[in-house]
């Protein structure tokens, strides 16, 4: 859902997009939608013919800027399948959350408090410039903040000021106005740790179409 939403928005904005997956043939051959009512990749791609499908390695090779939209538990493995030279110096927007469903619902986090998924990725791939962003809202809100009324916020964390500026400009092109720079990448602990509250709120409000705003 997240990858499709971001890929479609990037394509709409005129960017060239390659989506990566473990087994592109299997993904392309699938004809069933998923349990959430999303169509098969093939059915979705029919309306997005300009978006390429490839391996994670091909997506990393093609992209000038990378988005990590994998499940948190698979993020490091997905990036390990890329050639190191295809990661070197590139900005990675880390949209993933380290949700752990192994103990049932609601999920807990597989890493938190004194570490984060974003920091784990940055430590494992020091040549990447990791910027945490967009991980605190539903995919439809990520690429269309005007879906919700009023001003609401997207949080940005990262160690590289130029990479954060690049991501901030991209977020503006998505329609974001209230972009809050939380600080260095350790502040991604905070935005990842908001997920349990987000999940409770989805239950309490009966919809995933909401977002955090900051009242002053």
Positions touching a copy of itself (CB under 8 A) are: 103, 108-109, 112-114, 148-152, 155, 157, 180-183, 187, 189-191, 193-194, 196-201, 203-205, 207, 209-216
CA dist 20 and 88 (Å) reads 18
Instruction: Considering the complex, state which of residue 65 and residue 147 has its C-beta at the smaller distance from a copy of itself.
Output: 147
The angle formed by the CA atoms of residues 202, 203 and 205, to the nearest 5 degrees, is 65
Residue nearer to a copy of itself on the CB measure, 42 or 71? 71
| Minimum gap (Å) between residue 24 Cβ and a copy of itself | 35
Contact between 20 and 57 under an 8 Å Cβ cutoff? The reply is yes
CA nearest to 16, candidates 65, 57, 56, 55: 65
Three-state SS at 156: strand
Residue 168 beta carbon to a copy of itself: minimum distance, rounded to whole angstroms: 13
Closer of 39 and 196 to a copy of itself (Cβ): 196
Nearer to a copy of itself by Cβ, of 38 and 200: the residue is 200
CB of 25 to a copy of itself, least distance (A): 38
Q: Minimum Å distance from CB 189 to a copy of itself? A: 5
Nearer to a copy of itself, 47 or 149 (CB): 149
Nearest to 191 by CA among 200, 206, 181: 181
Q: For CA atoms 198, 204, 209, 212, give the dihedral sign.
A: negative
């Amino acid at each position: 859902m997240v990858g499709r939403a971001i890929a479609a928005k990037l394509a709409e904005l005129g960017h060239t997009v390659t989506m990566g997956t473990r087994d592109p043939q299997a993904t392309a051959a699938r004809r069933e939608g998923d349990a959430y009512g999303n169509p098969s990749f093939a059915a979705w791609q029919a309306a997005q013919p300009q978006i390429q499908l490839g391996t994670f390695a091909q997506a990393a090779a093609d992209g000038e800027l990378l988005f990590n939209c994998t499940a948190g538990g698979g993020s490091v493995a997905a990036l390990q399948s890329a050639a190191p030279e295809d990661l070197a110096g590139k900005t990675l927007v880390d949209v993933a959350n380290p949700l752990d469903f192994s103990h049932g619902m609601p999920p807990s986090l597989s890493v938190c408090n004194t570490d984060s998924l974003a920091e784990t990725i940055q430590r494992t791939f020091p040549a990447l410039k990791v910027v945490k962003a967009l991980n605190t809202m539903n995919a439809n809100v990520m690429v269309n903040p005007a879906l919700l009324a009023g001003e609401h916020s997207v949080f940005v964390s990262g160690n590289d000021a130029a990479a954060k500026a690049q991501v901030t400009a991209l977020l503006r092109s998505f329609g974001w106005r209230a972009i809050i720079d939380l600080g260095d990448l350790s502040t991604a602990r905070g935005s990842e740790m908001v997920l349990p509250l987000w999940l409770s709120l989805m239950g309490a409000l009966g919809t995933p179409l909401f977002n955090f705003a900051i009242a002053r």
